[in-house]
């Protein structure tokens, strides 16, 4: 089989996503929001008020930024609410909009409950946000995988784990960066677990894609982003792990992890575009599949 995969004047077969950088940022901010709200709820259960309120504020800011990115990227932003015309499980974007709407509603209810001192309402809404948070962190894996984009679709078992790991890592890092270490022990543990989940999930994804389909992650923009994210995440995780009780070493590690999580989203986003733009990633696996089937039936 021709390694280049014949195509019509070398043109792409499937279309690259038309989403702009806002969506890569949304993948990050959505994860940050979901992770922060979830950790905030655990902090509430532990009676850790500084961590609870700090993560609540981070979640609220991330929700605002996510909303901006999601609406700005639409071709007709004024029609954003058309997303809620129906409830459609085959459309991860539709399901995601419901999850995101319910989640952001919960986060702002917690915020209002804090402001007006209604602890019961705050506890209920915080639990609701913590329940929806993990869904918000992981549905984005389905969102990307449910396309014909070669490196996204074929990675569907791993993408939700990579995104979940990045969400925990960046939320924990955000708290570690903005609080004293003795207040952010829970956040630090979540960050380290998130780093492990993100790195292992990514390694599994590369193994699943194989040498041929993983090529977009090694070249061009996506290659640079992927290399940067891997180095930042691993270095930051290792630094925080050995830092022990040293606040500033922990913060330096958290900063690297935070940056690594951003780069990871951009790596996955750009690799998807690159894999769609080169027809060989569409043609070669499909041609092999078709030939195998023809051989089996002959």
Partner 1 sequence: MQEATSAAAEMATYGLEADERYGFFTDTTLCIGCKACEVACKEWNELPQDGYNFTAESYDNTSQLSGTTWRHVAFIEQFALPVERPDPAEGPVTVRIGDGVPPQSDQSGRWLMSSDVCKHCAHAACLDVCPTGALFRTEFGSVVVQQDICNGCGYCVPACPFGVIEQIPKDGRVGKCTLCYDRLKDGESPACAKACPTESIQFGKVDELRERAQKRLAAVQNEFQGAQLYGADEGDGIGGAGAFFLLLDKPEVYGLPPDPVVTTRDVLKMWKFAAWAAATTVGVLVLSGMLPD
Residues 161-220 that bind partner 1 (CB under 8 A): 161, 163-164, 167-168, 182, 185-186, 189-190, 193-194, 197
Please provide the distance, in angstroms rounded to a whole number, between the alpha carbons at the two ends of the chain.
19
Between 114 and 154, name the residue whose CB sits nearer to partner 1: 154
Between 156 and 227, name the residue whose CB sits nearer to partner 1: 156
Q: Which of 53, 91, 101, 246 binds partner 1 (CB under 8 A)?
A: 91
| Cα gap 110→115, rounded to integer Å | 9
Residues 32-61 that bind partner 1 (CB under 8 A): 35, 38-39, 42, 45-46
Position 28 contacts partner 1 (CB under 8 A): no
Extract the tokens encoding 275.
């894999």
Per the CB < 8 A criterion, the answer to whether 279 and 12 are in contact is: yes
| Cα gap 217→234, rounded to integer Å | 17
Q: Which of 22, 65, 92, 260 binds partner 1 (CB under 8 A)?
A: 92
Position 149 contacts partner 1 (CB under 8 A): yes
Angle at 279 between CA 274 and CA 284, to 5 degrees: 115
Q: In this chain, which stretch among 104-112, 142-150, 225-233, 254-262 interacts with partner 1, using CB under 8 A?
A: 142-150
| Cα gap 85→63, rounded to integer Å | 22
Extract the tokens encoding 243.
């830092």
Distance of closest approach, residue 171 Cβ to partner 1, in angstroms: 10
Between 105 and 185, name the residue whose CB sits nearer to partner 1: 185
Q: Nearest Cα to 30, choosing from 155, 105, 140?
A: 140
Q: In this chain, which stretch among 7-15, 110-118, 227-235, 258-266 interacts with partner 1, using CB under 8 A?
A: 7-15
Q: Which of 49, 88, 207, 212 binds partner 1 (CB under 8 A)?
A: 88
Q: Which of 153, 204, 208, 218 binds partner 1 (CB under 8 A)?
A: 153
Per the CB < 8 A criterion, the answer to whether 96 and 80 are in contact is: no
Position 282 contacts partner 1 (CB under 8 A): yes
Among all chains, which residue has been given the structure tokens 């389905």?
A: 142
| Cα gap 203→236, rounded to integer Å | 17
Q: Which of 3, 85, 248, 297 binds partner 1 (CB under 8 A)?
A: 85
């Amino acid at each position: 089989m021709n390694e280049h995969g014949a195509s019509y004047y070398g043109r792409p077969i499937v279309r690259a996503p038309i989403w702009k950088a806002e969506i890569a940022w949304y993948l990050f901010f959505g994860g940050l929001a979901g992770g922060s709200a979830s950790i905030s709820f655990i902090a509430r259960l532990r009676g850790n008020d500084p961590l609870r309120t700090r993560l609540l504020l981070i979640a609220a800011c991330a929700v605002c930024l996510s909303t901006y990115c999601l609406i700005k990227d639409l071709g007709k932003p004024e029609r954003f609410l058309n997303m809620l015309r129906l409830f459609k499980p085959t459309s991860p974007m539709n399901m995601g909009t419901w999850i995101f709407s319910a989640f952001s509603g919960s986060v702002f209810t917690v915020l209002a409950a804090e402001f007006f001192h209604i602890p019961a309402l705050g506890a209920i809404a915080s639990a609701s946000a913590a329940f929806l948070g993990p869904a918000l962190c992981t549905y984005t894996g389905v969102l990307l995988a449910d396309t014909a984009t070669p490196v996204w679709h074929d990675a569907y078992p791993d993408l939700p784990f990579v995104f979940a790991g990045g969400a925990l890592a960046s939320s924990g890092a955000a708290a570690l960066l903005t609080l004293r270490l003795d207040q952010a022990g829970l956040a630090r543990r979540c960050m380290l677990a998130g780093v492990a989940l993100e790195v292992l999930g990514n390694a599994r994804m590369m193994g699943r894609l194989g040498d041929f389909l993983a090529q977009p992650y090694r070249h061009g923009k996506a290659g640079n982003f992927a290399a940067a994210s891997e180095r930042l995440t691993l270095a930051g995780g290792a630094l925080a792990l050995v830092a022990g009780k040293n606040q500033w070493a922990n913060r330096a590690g958290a900063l690297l992890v935070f940056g690594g999580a951003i780069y990871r989203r951009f790596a996955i986003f750009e690799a998807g575009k690159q894999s769609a733009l080169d027809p060989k990633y569409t043609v070669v696996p499909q041609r092999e599949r078709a030939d195998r089937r023809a051989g089996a039936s002959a």
